[in-house]
Structure 1
């Protein structure tokens, strides 16, 4: 109850919460617009959608994390805006290139399966696979990240990377097995799918260093090379991830001298990280793979991916524009716990809790505004798909909020709850598509996503209560977690 009261007492939190509620209600009303508006109203829907996007951009430019009434921070300046665009380069580039090369891919069969279908299966598998495959890398370099010594970090990463890649390869089997059981693909098609996943596993692990070093230019270069290879040779399925990986190898420079097989992560630690990554990553990415399996790949790909974009943009906005401030406040609290006076500790703790709360609520507000905008645009352009867009978009927003709250729990050291929430989401996701079934026709998948909206909003409520329990007084959570390790 205190968690809900805190939302209403703070003006900033109350405003953001009401904005999210209003945005979700308006999104839910979008499918009914056609019934009350005259013919030819689509241009108005597109204009309103563009206006909502502008409002979301204004929130991004002035998030008001420091002071909701008199915001002076520069979180939305040109530099951070450019960083966000660079970080979103895979989303932008691939959404432009894939529609252009799909006809060429569709003309090629691999083992009796269209290449487009194999590539699609790989594309919706890799983000989830990446979450699990990259998490062990942060265990390897975690103790070096505070010092920001990139030479030492690169050296350590290169020492462990070859064996870490080998240890990660069984993950490909974890995803290939259900695909084979459900689709019955031929060994050739399945082998190409597994090879694509393996090459992408190499690619996403190679991106870890650019991510750690905040080298957005190197990140964008990798995805530009990937998209360029895809555009120039769409049927050479192995080329894009290979070219992308080579750009990152070049960026590591002298650190590559330390590549070897002498260092490896312990099996228990590696398995724990992989399981944690699979469960937490399932929240944002499992529905696409389950939908693919439930429909055999015959679903409205453009609409589902468009509905997902708001959540992806908002989630990346958090990590580019808001997470650095949270990290600074957390570092300050750690320093104060180590030797600061009690009055300073209480002030630092309250400030950290406020910054994290406002960051989460601002991210949610941006996500729901963009979800409303996409729903309006889809209704204007593809009115027969508006139900799918609304429910897939609303559920993606819930997935994003659940993932973000799970990340905050994990960040403060609470490792079990996020995995429980991820596991619950995965079970509900499979049930939504296989127990309820996927309706046929133009609303393909809308019914399952409608069920997921309800289920995941309940999980978001549970996650919020857990989050507030640990973050309302973060100094106690951090102190007792540290004390129990003595």
Structure 2
């Protein structure tokens, strides 16, 4: 986390009051109303295409500049917008590359099987588990490396290589649990389950190899890993372990001589790491549990491409928050914590108000990005596959609402209330599981969307309570820590 903080980025007192401007975030509301009218009119083609064009332009504007409250009043120029757009392309590279590669190799995968299981089904079973599992195995890493980040990228690489063997060993437990769950539901033989476990662990190695690039904000290197994955899949789709291992190799080669630290693994306290893994299981399950549970309940009997398409608005919004909005919040948050030690309460109130606006408007912008993208997906479906529009609307809305809930829980946890974040997320995961137990296939997404909507209201109230006066909440939290 960067410790850069500039006082001029916060609102200043005195001077002329600037004229109010309508933020782009608010423009999604009239477009949503327009989409509702078109729905009632049967989605006339010309008007629907015009709506899609307007939504795409709005989404591009939303993605490339934060709201004024989230940038501290700084203007956003063409260079900033171009950099933000390119950064979003890099961050979305997994969705772009894999979404393009898998349809191209689907026919070639159909001719392969592993221990009597179609290779396409085996890959799908791993693909729906890996995002959730990556939250489980990735959550402890950032706490273990936290004190090293300020020492520079070389220290981070060496420290991570010392920790990696132990973290990889601990990852065997959740990977085994996922494989056992799949085995119980599918009835696959030992050979297929061994292959499933091997594929899961290959993806774990790949995910863990991306940590160094992620911590160093080396997005080009991070995207290179996914590019290596996609190219390998296109060249040798039948070599099912090759894509994740090729992606991992691209990251391992970039670590270079610091790999020698693997030979001197560092010990760490296991109990806190396991606790972090449980946190990752619960907090990460809000956004990713439904994909695994969908496969567990119906197997391959659902439209994979359709569900994948419906997930993308949520992924886009989630990526926007952590790529564009979160770094600014982290800078302001760090400066605010530094100010707790040497600034009077009057100054802290101003800083607290600015920080609150930044967090609130960033969440609102994220929701607007996701809403605009969801409306694009729904409108495209109305033109290209009108029979699927109800399913697309339910799955897209549920995924976006779960992404918003995930970020609310993240910011509640950021404010110091880990228990509330875990309880809120745990309830969401339980309700998701209950929905799949009670309803068939994608029909579970309607109840999931309703449950997520209610939990978002509760989460919003908890979030408001913690962030309404951060200067007091964080001051007393710091005082009690003394």
| TM-score (structure 1 length as normaliser) | 0.90
Residues of 2 paired with 1:67 and 1:411: CA distance?
A: 17
Q: Does 1:130 align with 2:160?
A: no
- 1:23 touches 1:368 (CA, 8 Å); kept in 2? no
Where does the alignment leave 5 or more consecutive residues of structure 2 unmatched? 1-18
Structure 1 SS opposite 2:237: coil
- 2:70 touches 2:325 (CA, 8 Å); kept in 1? no
- 1:30 touches 1:375 (CA, 8 Å); kept in 2? no
Q: Does 1:346 align with 2:342?
A: no
Which residue in the other structure is 1:369 paired with? 372
Structure 2 SS opposite 1:265: coil
Distance 1:204 1:359, change over 3 A: same
Residues of 1 paired with 2:346 and 2:151: CA distance?
A: 30
Residues of 2 paired with 1:281 and 1:169: CA distance?
A: 18
Offset at residue 60 of structure 1 (A): 2.2
Offset at residue 67 of structure 1 (A): 7.8
Distance 1:332 1:223, change over 3 A: same
More divergent stretch after superposition (338-347 vs 109-118):
338-347
Distance 1:28 1:416, change over 3 A: farther
Residues of 1 paired with 2:154 and 2:162: CA distance?
A: 12
Residues of 2 paired with 1:362 and 1:205: CA distance?
A: 30
Where does the alignment leave 5 or more consecutive residues of structure 1 unmatched? 1-10, 439-443
Which residue in the other structure is 1:107 paired with? 111
Which residue in the other structure is 1:240 paired with? 243
- 1:326 touches 1:352 (CA, 8 Å); kept in 2? yes
1:182-331 mapped onto 2 (5 Å cutoff):
182-260=185-263, 262-331=265-334
Which residue in the other structure is 1:82 paired with? 86
Which residue in the other structure is 2:456 paired with? 460
Offset at residue 345 of structure 1 (A): 1.4
- 1:60 touches 1:76 (CA, 8 Å); kept in 2? no
Residues of 2 paired with 1:460 and 1:148: CA distance?
A: 38
More divergent stretch after superposition (188-197 vs 45-54):
45-54
- 1:162 touches 1:260 (CA, 8 Å); kept in 2? no
Q: Does 1:181 align with 2:181?
A: no
More divergent stretch after superposition (404-413 vs 57-66):
57-66
Residues of 2 paired with 1:450 and 1:120: CA distance?
A: 23
- 1:286 touches 1:429 (CA, 8 Å); kept in 2? yes
Distance 1:478 1:143, change over 3 A: farther
Structure 2 SS opposite 1:425: helix
| TM-score (structure 2 length as normaliser) | 0.90
- 1:30 touches 1:376 (CA, 8 Å); kept in 2? no
Offset at residue 62 of structure 1 (A): 3.5
- 2:279 touches 2:422 (CA, 8 Å); kept in 1? yes
Distance 1:171 1:70, change over 3 A: closer
- 2:70 touches 2:357 (CA, 8 Å); kept in 1? no
Q: Which deviations, in whole Å up to 9, do the C-alpha atoms of 1:172-207 show, x marking residues without a partner?
A: 112112211111112222211111110100110110
Q: How many residues align?
A: 463
Q: Which deviations, in whole Å up to 9, do the C-alpha atoms of 1:104-131 show, x marking residues without a partner?
A: 1111121222110110111111010001
- 1:176 touches 1:190 (CA, 8 Å); kept in 2? yes
Structure 1 SS opposite 2:268: coil
Residues of 2 paired with 1:95 and 1:376: CA distance?
A: 20
Offset at residue 479 of structure 1 (A): 2.4
Q: Does 1:484 align with 2:480?
A: yes
Structure 1 SS opposite 2:263: coil
Residues of 2 paired with 1:87 and 1:67: CA distance?
A: 20
- 1:294 touches 1:433 (CA, 8 Å); kept in 2? yes
Residues of 2 paired with 1:76 and 1:53: CA distance?
A: 19
